[in-house]
Amino acid sequence: MSSKTIAILTSGGDAPGMNAAIRAVVRSSIYYGCKVYGINRGYKGLIEGDLFEMNLSSVGDIIQKGGTILKSSRCEEFKTEEGRAIGVEVLKKYGIDCLVVIGGDGSFNGAQKLSDLGFPAIGIPGTIDNDLAYTDYTIGFDTTMNTIIDAIGKIRDTSSSHERVNIIEVMGRHCGDLALYAGLAGGAESIIVPEMDFTIDDVCDKLEQTKKRGKRHSIIVLAEGVGNAQDLGNKIVERTGADLRVTILGHVQRGGSPSAFDRILASKMGVRAVELLLEGKSARVIGIKDNKIIDMDINEALSMERSFDKEIFEMTKILSI
């Protein structure tokens, strides 16, 4: 392995565990005798030349912190050829040989474009939605799922006290994994996700079914990509007369100290990313399959179609009778 100068950035929505990945990239780079630079505010900071050299102390006491110490932002300019050319010039100016990008599919697209320009880049999946098809889990998903489960438990306490129906809206515009797994673990009566069709009749019938067996409160978990939670609530009230409340969890789902799973996953992925770069690899993304860290061509990974676990979805129906 030859010594290199490696840069790292975080892009797109923040996810718990990003700091653990940053720490792993920085410390493993230094371990292997490399220089490492941090880029603030993602591709926007890259274009603006907002870089700084990092050392061991730069990542001290961050493994347990949510968010990202490198900050994040969206950057429309980097989607243009001119913007990417500026980014490459900045990297060359600082003597940087290769780049690690932590983020979701949009961030990976940026890494792909840089690789196409001949600048080596490796992607680490950091997104709470778990919406990348090539990997079983993304950094941040486990922590966010547990945040939702905690909220479900607290809402159930008050829901049962007042014999209410509660709709809990969670993140997931195009991917229902957060709603599915948190709804399963939280014992929700109904789970509504973008990947599966549903009708108001189905939801209301389930409420009536639970009411007949003596249960006076219910939890409905709704992925934000399906529709407006309040509109759904109004329709349910019209049909059933239920005492109903809506809770939109919003950005509370992004924050918080990462779980042990996310810290370990991020650490493994960060070290592997550096090793790939030192092996002369480029245009790869890191993932986990069957509990093993893998890497894959970035173009292949981005072209894969994500499959929703319908078997688990059907199981939630069995368990919520």
The catalytic residue positions are 129
- With H, G, I as helix, E, B as strand and everything else as coil, classify residue 243: coil
Check residue 200 and give left, alpha or beta (phi > 0: left; psi -120 to 50: alpha).
alpha
Amino acid at 283: A
Q: Looking up tokens 């840069």, which residue turns up?
A: 7
Query: What is the rounded distance in angstroms from the CA atom of residue 303 to the CA atom of residue 296?
Result: 11
Residue 198 DSSP class: -
Residue 236's closest CA among 204, 205, 188, 197? 204
What is the distance between the alpha carbons of residues 163 and 244, in angstroms, rounded to a whole number? 9
> What is the β-pairing status of strands 284-289 and 190-192?
unpaired
> Does residue 114 sit in helix, strand or coil?
helix
Look up residue 290 and give its two tokens: 């069957």
d(CA 9, CA 13): 12
Contacts for 157 with CB less than 8 Å, ≥ 6 apart: none
**8 phi and psi angles, rounded to 5 deg:** -140, 140
Q: What gap in Å lies between CA 261 and CA 145, rounded to an integer?
A: 12
Contact 70, 31 (CB under 8 A): no
